[in-house]
Amino acid sequence: MTETLQHAIALQEDAGGTPNPVAPGWNLDALVAQLRLSREITHNIRHQGRIRRTPSRETVTTILDGLTAALFPSHYGQSEIGAGNIDYFVGSTLDNALILLTEQVRRSLAFTREEVPPEASLHEQALAITGDFASQLPSIRGVLVSDLTAAFRGDPAATNFPEILLGYPGMTAIIYHRLAHALHGLGATFLARLISDIAHSKTGIDIHPGAEIGGSFFIDHGTGVVIGETTVIGERVRLYQAVTLGARHFPTDENGVLVKGSPRHPIVEDDVVIYAGATVLGRITIGRGSAIGGNVWLTRSVPPGSQITQAHARSNGQVD
């Protein structure tokens, strides 16, 4: 009897079951050996060939909960918060979140450096990034309040700020994005991308952390919205559900390898509204004050003040 089978029987006995002396229908030892061969030699995908712990999705989710509670304590914090203890709650919650964040930043840096420095250096870099990130939180909150105000003013169904903070997926997505974008700009790109995916899973809204988004931004409904990495969005922009701000093509180098990070997504200027289902592709510019109608497919720039609908796009031969 192999050690693996003995272990399986022992676990079954611990669980109160009846041990089955018949070997299972798979050869576990052989499978483990084959997977080790794939992992170590034939299909090794480890960064620089070394085993490192990746950031923990569960811990990052805990960090996000803490950061949002510190930013909006009376909405995301504990129910017993009052005027006398709110600063204590914010300080304690924020300190715990930043301590956890430092470790997750450290782990992520090991996968974003071409030459991974010693662990002590990684920790120092993580502390510096977390400190810089923390210093941005007051200004991030200020921009988020402008987003919150834009949602309240832009949606006739919104009755108060708590309803938007607690019940609007677009608000949750933009909170997470502004936190992720700050980390992305500080060099914690892997961790920022993980935050954006957590937001995507939670809200159905996919915003790359590299996207630049101005204040007073409002995503109404939001399900299916996609905003690409190099998108630039101005002030007071509003998007509806299923809007895509994407790339039309992907540039490659002389060897046919994709060029990473090249500008390939739209520029959306101030005061633009893009309605449900519109697809805007490529490094084009949507001029200030324009309105892009529902289900429009747009691959060319439009001047300020444009009103683009499906009928217009088909009839004038200038916009497609």
Helix (H, G, I), strand (E, B) or coil at 239: strand
Query: Sheet holding 238-239: strands in order across?
Result: 218-219, 238-239, 273-274, 291-292, 307-308
- Can you tell me the distance from the alpha carbon of 200 to that of 192, in angstroms, rounded to the nearest whole number? 12
Mean pLDDT (the chain) is 89
Is a pLDDT exceeding 60 seen at residue 6? no
pLDDT the model gives residue 180: 98
Count of other CB atoms within 10 angstroms of residue 300: 14
Percent of the chain surpassing pLDDT 90: 71
Helix (H, G, I), strand (E, B) or coil at 14: helix
Is a pLDDT exceeding 90 seen at residue 52? no
Which of 259, 242, 114 minimizes the C-alpha distance to 189?
A: 114
Is a pLDDT exceeding 70 seen at residue 254? yes
E strand or H helix at 294: none
E strand or H helix at 279: strand 279-281
Count of other CB atoms within 10 angstroms of residue 285: 16
- Predicted confidence band of residue 317 (pLDDT cuts 50, 70, 90): very low
Is a pLDDT exceeding 70 seen at residue 211? yes
Q: Tell me the per-residue pLDDT of 62-113, one tens digit each, with 9 for 90 and over.
A: 999 999 999 999 888 876 788 889 999 999 999 999 999 999 999 999 888 7
- Can you tell me the distance from the alpha carbon of 26 to that of 24, in angstroms, rounded to the nearest whole number? 6
Q: Tell me the per-residue pLDDT of 288-306, one tens digit each, with 9 for 90 and over.
A: 999 999 999 999 999 999 9
Helix (H, G, I), strand (E, B) or coil at 153: helix
- Can you tell me the distance from the alpha carbon of 118 to that of 97, in angstroms, rounded to the nearest whole number? 25
- At position 64, the amino acid (one-letter code) is L
Radius of gyration, CA atoms only, the chain: 25
Same-fold call for 54-202 versus 224-320: no
pTM of the model: 0.85
The CATH number of domain 54-202, selected from 1.10.40.50, 3.40.190.10, 1.10.3130.10, 2.40.110.10:
1.10.3130.10
Average the pLDDT over each of 28-42, 53-67, 202-216 and give the range with the smallest value: 28-42
- The residue among 262 and 303 whose pLDDT is bigger is 303
- Predicted confidence band of residue 271 (pLDDT cuts 50, 70, 90): very high
pLDDT the model gives residue 120: 81
Query: Which CATH superfamily hosts domain 224-320?
Result: Hexapeptide repeat proteins (2.160.10.10)
Determine the Cα angle at 204 with ends 198 and 209, to 5°.
50
Determine the Cα angle at 110 with ends 105 and 112, to 5°.
90
Q: Where are the domains of the chain?
A: 54-202, 224-320
**Residue 287 in contact with residue 302, Cβ under 8 Å?**
yes
**Residue 216 in contact with residue 235, Cβ under 8 Å?**
yes
* End-to-end Cα, the chain, rounded Å: 70
Task: Determine whether 184 is exposed, middle or buried from the number of CB atoms within 10 Å of its CB (0-12, 13-18, 19+).
Answer: buried
Determine the Cα angle at 68 with ends 136 and 148, to 5°.
85
pLDDT the model gives residue 261: 81
- Predicted confidence band of residue 48 (pLDDT cuts 50, 70, 90): low
pLDDT the model gives residue 137: 98
- The residue among 293 and 14 whose pLDDT is bigger is 293
**Residue 308 in contact with residue 289, Cβ under 8 Å?**
no
Alpha helices (H) in the chain, listed in sequence order: 3-14, 28-37, 57-71, 73-76, 86-109, 119-154, 161-167, 169-185, 189-203, 310-315
pLDDT the model gives residue 10: 55
Q: Which residue has the tokens 């439009």?
A: 302
pLDDT the model gives residue 26: 87
Q: Tell me the per-residue pLDDT of 153-181, one tens digit each, with 9 for 90 and over.
A: 999 999 999 999 999 999 999 999 999 99
Average the pLDDT over each of 140-144, 184-188, 203-207, 311-315 and give the range with the smallest value: 311-315
pLDDT the model gives residue 206: 98
Average pLDDT of the segment spanning 143-147: 98
**Residue 298 in contact with residue 278, Cβ under 8 Å?**
yes
* Cα-based distances in Å from 162 to 12, 157, 301: 50, 13, 38
